[in-house]
Amino acid sequence: MDDYIKYSSTRGGDKSLSYEEVLLAGLARDGGLFMPEKWPNFSHSELKNMKGLSYSKLASKILKPFIQPFLGEDDILDICKATYSSFGNDVAPLKELKENTYILELFHGPTLAFKDYAMQFLSRVFNLALEKKGKRAVILGATSGDTGSAALEAFKGMENVDIFILFPHKRVSEVQQKQMTWINEEGAHALSVKTDFDGCQALVKDCFEDLNFKDCTSLSAINSINWVRLLPQIVYYFYSALRVGSPEKEVVFSVPTGNFGNILAGWIAKKMGLPIARLICGSNQNDILTRFFENGLMKRKNVSPSYSPSMDIQVSSNFERLLFEINERDPNSVKKQMHDFKVKGSFEIDQDQLKKINKLFSAFMISDIDTLNIIKKTFSDHKYMLDPHSAIGYGAVQKAIEQKIISNHCPIISLACAHPAKFPQVIKKSIGILPEFPIDLAHIMNQKENFKIIQPDLKDLQEYITKRIRK
């Protein structure tokens, strides 16, 4: 048993928890995020043997070390097969735009966004854990657009789960909102909060830090602050890299980044042995991450609404996990920095630490105007339509090449995180035409909306949740 991976909080409170405990807890009781106490590592020969595996078989191999002994190898494979059975023949297609430059399409799940790859898996293992224990749970999450719809779609109709999703009022796209609010099933609640995403996320964290409320409601998280939600996102880094020449070749990934979970999954893949030469972080005008990677100062500013609303963030929650590693897993340093960030709105790392992480990470800001131009040029040059978030990732690739940080001598994979139909007005503004709606999405757009508008008040939110939990 001692050989199995255990998990501890980035802030030092909870230690040596099992996968199952982390799954149901979501956030550590001290407010920190869970991290594995050791990293599994795949050798060059093991990676070579993974080539040609189906997405589900590869996923089961990548995820197995983190999950055992909660589930056996065959059980994990069965869940992976069920999870990705509806994602099409090619679960995560690679489209080569030009020599050695690829788009990884991560929008082939039920809500047309990359969050489906993890959320569909999470809902299955979460339900299994609850059934084993004969328990119920309340799931609470905040969304800047795509997490909410993916979560409500994945968890709707589950008898032992009540789910509450907070989204910023009038700050998500019409399609993103409709994907959340068309759902009209008992136990599924969409709440439009009169604040920005960071305000929604703060409410969620405050609910978890109220340990009496957390315990009374059996509260759990589905944002990528939940380690188990983040974990399946590692898989598509391995899957795509192996298809373009790894492990013989190093690969560059470019990731449109808001809450830092998706690009952190790439960093974890690197820790596990995948030969990644560089991770490019693409930010929109809310460029807190770009500024950090330039000077080592994480400083919060006001959120400015953009054409890429899922990235309108100034508090990148998952960054705490990288910070834990930057500080050589010293929880006291993390606690101080996160306290400073919450109270003062900023914290700083030293220049030696910054140089170390910048050996792998590069960051670029892409403005709204740049985003429109990237969508237009990519459509003109390659007849390929990028959504505004994916355009930021691809635009960051161009900037990295211009500044000679990377070259196209090694494969470059830019993540496309949402279907362009989720942002039709931005696409029309760029290229003058509307993207074609997939049939399922067109059906949703004609449905009645079901949601509640609330103020960003913690006590009111807790009362609302308490009154609506099914017994």
- Supply the residues annotated as catalytic: 115
Q: How many whole angstroms separate alpha carbon 427 and alpha carbon 421? A: 8
Q: Which is nearest to 393 in space by CA: 301, 305, 308?
A: 308
Residue 288's alpha-carbon distances to 31, 147, 169, 321, in angstroms, are 22, 21, 22, 16
* Cα Rg of the chain (Å, integer): 21
Answer whether 9's CB lies under 8 Å from 33's CB.
Answer: yes
Burial class (CB in 10 A: 0-12, 13-18, 19+), 251: buried
| Residue 216 DSSP class | H
Q: How many whole angstroms separate alpha carbon 111 and alpha carbon 91? A: 14
- Which residues lie below 8 Å from residue 42, measured CB to CB, with a gap of 6+? 50, 272, 273, 274
Given the structure tokens 């309108």, which residue do they identify? 312
- Per DSSP, what are the bridge partners of residue 188? 163
- In degrees and rounded to multiples of 5, residue 104 shows phi and psi of -95, 110
DSSP, collapsed to helix, strand or coil, labels residue 93 as coil
CB contact burial 346-384 (16+ within 10 A = b; e otherwise): ebebeeeebeebeeebbbbbbebebbbebbbbbbeeeeb
Answer whether 250's CB lies under 8 Å from 269's CB.
Answer: no
Burial class (CB in 10 A: 0-12, 13-18, 19+), 98: exposed
